[in-house]
Amino acid sequence: MSTEQHSAKVELQSGSYEIIVGKSILEQCGSLISNLKIGNTCAIITDSNVAPLYAEKVSQSLKNEGIKSELISVSAGESSKSLSNVENICRKMINAGHDRHVFIIALGGGVIGDLAGLVASIFYRGVPLVQIPTTVVSQVDSSVGGKTGVNTPEGKNLIGSFYHPKLVISDTLTLKTLPKREFNEGFAEVIKHAAIRDESMFHHIMNVDGAENLDDLIIKNVRIKQSVVEEDEKELIGLRAHLNYGHTIGHAIETAGGYGNFLHGEAISLGIIAANKISSEKFNFPEKQDNQIINALKKFDLPTVLDHSISTENILDIMKSDKKFKDGKIRFVILHQLGRAELTESITEADIKKAIDSLRG
């Protein structure tokens, strides 16, 4: 089996960190982390799905390097992204005798990365974090860029922090153990990256055949995310907001559906289609390119029609508590053409209502 590795480096004013992508690199995580010199005691935060698959492999690799680890597992699923879980994890770490000399490993998908990242940012006012993402969405997107957060009934990720990891280790073989639905949902973020930054990636996307040979596609996505984060780390100049393409409406649909009814990528799929509707009507986004995106979403069985059980009014109400609302205006990402996104405040609530209604099929 090939052990070829790809890497990218995020360079920020506050420091830099490496993202390593490859097959069978989970076994090397101990030596990779040991090289960072961030301590010899860690807490591995994971979930009930991932723990039986990879926790032992990671803890053994750490043990081989003289690093003692403790496993803390939460229930799998979006509902674990809560402040009560943040407190529970912190208290478990305190009771286990951990202090500011500990470091944290986030072993799992986007939920674990966001949750463990927030814990790392506040435990003893901040301890080092290593991300070991095990899903498509976390490997191509959420493990890179330093956004952490938990949900509230009012919306997704409304409580969080910017806190970058010291290292990201993405073993693409972990994607082979994902259930098909969880594998597919991650491609909403891949399609998002292609739409806002790299039209040529659609050829690669349409040729994906299962979880084999995804290293090249994943590092391409990582490099897109890396370049955007380097240019606009904290979303101050609007460029990083391009990564919210499809997310303004998508997050609201995800919340309105009740956490768990939609996987993240499924809701984002609907958000992308709605954003394209607005882009077509107000900014002449070409129908042929819109169809290209829809065909890519359909390839991964991502939803293109919204059920009538979720009301447009509910979605709009949830959107109004979103961070993308600035001074009462909607900051919305549209496409002029594939690879060319723009953040605009010219979209009205009526435009969004019309776009959501158009999802009804």
Residue span(s) of the chain under CATH 1.20.1090.10 come to 181-358
> Is residue 104 a contact partner of residue 148, using CB atoms and an 8 Å limit?
no
pLDDT confidence of residue 327:
67
> Is residue 43 a contact partner of residue 93, using CB atoms and an 8 Å limit?
yes
- CATH architecture, domain 181-358: Up-down Bundle (1.20)
In order of 2, 169, 174, the CA distances from 185 in angstroms are 27, 21, 15
Residue span(s) of the chain under CATH 3.40.50.1970 come to 5-178
List the beta strands (DSSP E) in the chain: 5-12, 15-22, 41-47, 68-74, 103-108, 129-133, 147-152, 155-162, 167-171, 325-326, 329-330, 332-337, 340-344
Cα R_g (the chain), whole angstroms: 20
pLDDT digits (tens, 9 = 90+) for 130-189: 999 999 999 999 999 999 999 998 888 999 999 999 999 999 999 999 999 999 999 999
pLDDT confidence of residue 3:
63
Burial (0-12, 13-18, 19+ Cβ within 10 Å), 314: middle
Q: Under CATH, which number does the domain 5-178 receive?
A: 3.40.50.1970
pLDDT confidence of residue 321:
77
Residues of the chain with pLDDT under 50: 1-2
pLDDT digits (tens, 9 = 90+) for 104-123: 999 999 999 999 999 999 99
Give the number of other Cβ atoms within 10 Å of residue 31's Cβ: 12
CA neighbours closer than 13 Å in the CB half-sphere of residue 169: 23
pLDDT confidence of residue 330:
87
pLDDT confidence of residue 324:
63
Closest CA to 198 of 227, 236, 172: 227
